[in-house]
Amino acid sequence: MRVVMASDVYFPRINGVSTSIETFRRRLAEHDVEVRLIAPEYGSESQDDWIVRVPGRRIPRDPEDRLVKWRAMHAAVDAAARECDVLHVQTPFVAHYAGLAAARRWRRPVLATYHTLFEEYLGHYAPFLPARLLRAQARAWSRRQCNALDALVVPSTAMRERLCEYGVRAPMHVLPTGIPLAQFGQGDRAGFRARHGIEPERPVALFVGRVAHEKNIGFLVEAMRTVVRRVPDACLLITGEGPAMEDLRRQTRALGLTAKVCFLGYLDRHTELPDCYAAADAFVFASRTETQGLVLLEAMAAGLPAIALAEMGTRDILAPLRGAIVPPDDPAAFGRAMAEYFEHRERWPALSAAARDYAAEWSDTALAGRMADLYRQLIQAHR
């Protein structure tokens, strides 16, 4: 089976969409699915024979992303679609329209993965526009796009419920991205702590992800005020890069937490990040807009218990409370839960084991098999 994926983003741009594409692509091969990806050209990427790179231009105030050229994306997707069985769109921008046009021309089934709940994000990037107007426009845009597809993949039940509220009537399949368990199962705790000057017994909370306003990282910084009153040597590691970095640094200074909050920047997923997970004692997460919360499962696969808000897509992961603690949505209450965790080290081994066992149920191999089955169902229904 041959599948063409079209996306407005991919590595070296690091985000959840890129991770999902790569995770599925690797495991789909085990289910006799060959993937061809059409994605932007960044200028620093490696050459891979399964990827067709499309030229684009930098986006003002967003140097990490590219706006691909309309005609070039359409031409590349159309050429690849001639020889494929299914078109799978990964982003709702130029790639969406190129995938839809190619599917109609060559009479192929087309589906999309709805990775991002845009109505929750737009206010951070267009604060000068009325929030009600932005939400209405985002919902109408998503409704039109989704209802033009043969099927829609959503990463959580919360996302499916929200899209139903929008008026989306295309068949929706809840199918999260799986976790490459082996990648996060081992890490060098002592080595990472030594390299970063962290004492062996110091309690460490960790956030991993894009340092963006919608990730609600400021909530975690605020929570640390409560933590350090009870656990003075505790620290928070923030790993990642993004547009909220300077605001968070200013907040940290204003709260007198510069010795308690450390910004590590970008860490390579395959080399440094597993060590970082191993070096921490708890994973903390406060995003209210996450469509899945893939990073929670990565941390849990490393045996790292999660202390997190159960909002949107993270509810599916956190609801069983297996290897996880879900505090109230309040920085002080969240901080008290973190402090309580740090004060009771005897509980850590059981929570760690529960986290590992739970993460194993979300393996990349099993979920890729479900995606391959969905492709086959669409092909059969399209004949």
**Cα–Cα distance between 65 and 298 in angstroms, integer?**
24
Residue 182 — very low, low, confident or very high, per pLDDT cuts 50/70/90? Answer: confident
Residues 6+ apart with CB under 8 A from 278: 186, 187, 188, 189, 192, 302
The residue among 246 and 186 whose pLDDT is bigger is 246
Nearest to 39 by CA among 65, 2, 1, 16: 65
Tell me which architecture the domain covering 2-178+363-382 has in CATH: 3-Layer(aba) Sandwich (3.40)
Predicted pLDDT of residue 105: 97
User: Among 146-150, 209-213, 248-252, 333-337, where is mean pLDDT lowest?
Assistant: 209-213
Question: What's the confidence (pLDDT) of residue 204?
Answer: 98
Name the residue among 250, 291, 233, 243 with its Cα closest to residue 117.
Answer: 291
Give every CB contact of residue 170 below 8 A, 6+ residues apart in sequence.
146, 147, 148, 149, 150, 151, 152
What is the Cα–Cα distance from 322 to 300, expressed in whole angstroms?
A: 10
Q: Is the confidence at residue 381, as pLDDT, over 60?
A: yes
Task: Report residue 120's pLDDT band, with 50, 70 and 90 as the boundaries.
Answer: low
Q: What is the pLDDT of residues 322-366, one digit of tens each?
A: 999 999 999 999 999 999 999 999 999 999 999 999 998 899 998
Is the pLDDT at 125 greater than 60? The verdict is: no
Q: Please, which pLDDT band fits residue 255 given cuts at 50, 70 and 90?
A: very high
Q: Which residue type does 382 have? A: H
Whole-angstrom CA distances from 119 to 109, 123, 125, 138, 290 are: 27, 8, 11, 5, 12
Query: Residue 305: which of 289, 323, 321 has the closest Cα?
Result: 323
Whether residue 126 has pLDDT greater than 60? no
Q: What is the pLDDT of residue 98?
A: 98
Can you tell me the distance from the alpha carbon of 196 to that of 370, in angstroms, rounded to the nearest whole number?
41
Handedness of CA 69, 71, 75, 81 (dihedral sign): positive
Tell me the β-bridge partners of 205.
236, 282
Q: Average of pLDDT values for 198-209?
A: 97
Q: What is the mean pLDDT of residues 270-295?
A: 92
Contact 4, 50 (CB under 8 A): no
Which phi and psi angles does 270 have, rounded to 5°? -95, -20
Give the global pTM: 0.74
Weakest mean pLDDT among 60-64, 87-91, 340-344: 60-64
Contact 300, 132 (CB under 8 A): no
pLDDT at 202 over 60: yes
Residue 235 has pLDDT above 80, yes or no: yes
Chain length of the chain: 383
Residues 381/33/295/94 CA torsion (nearest 10 deg): -70
User: Rounded to an integer, what distance in angstroms lies between the CA atom of residue 290 and that of residue 292?
Assistant: 6
| pLDDT tens digits, one per residue of 147-178 | 999 999 998 888 899 999 999 999 999 999 88
Instruction: State the span(s) of the chain assigned CATH 3.40.50.2000.
Output: 2-178+363-382, 181-360
User: Sorting pLDDT into bands at 50, 70 and 90, what band is 49?
Assistant: very high
Top-confidence residue, 373 or 132? 373
- Say if CB 3 and CB 88 are below 8 A apart: yes
Instruction: For the chain, give the percent of residues with pLDDT over 90.
Output: 79
Q: pLDDT, tens digit, for every residue of 12-36? A: 998 889 989 999 999 999 999 999 9
The architecture that CATH gives domain 181-360 is 3-Layer(aba) Sandwich (3.40)
Q: Which of 36-40, 121-125, 185-189, 235-239 has the lowest mean pLDDT?
A: 121-125
| pLDDT > 60? residue 124 | no
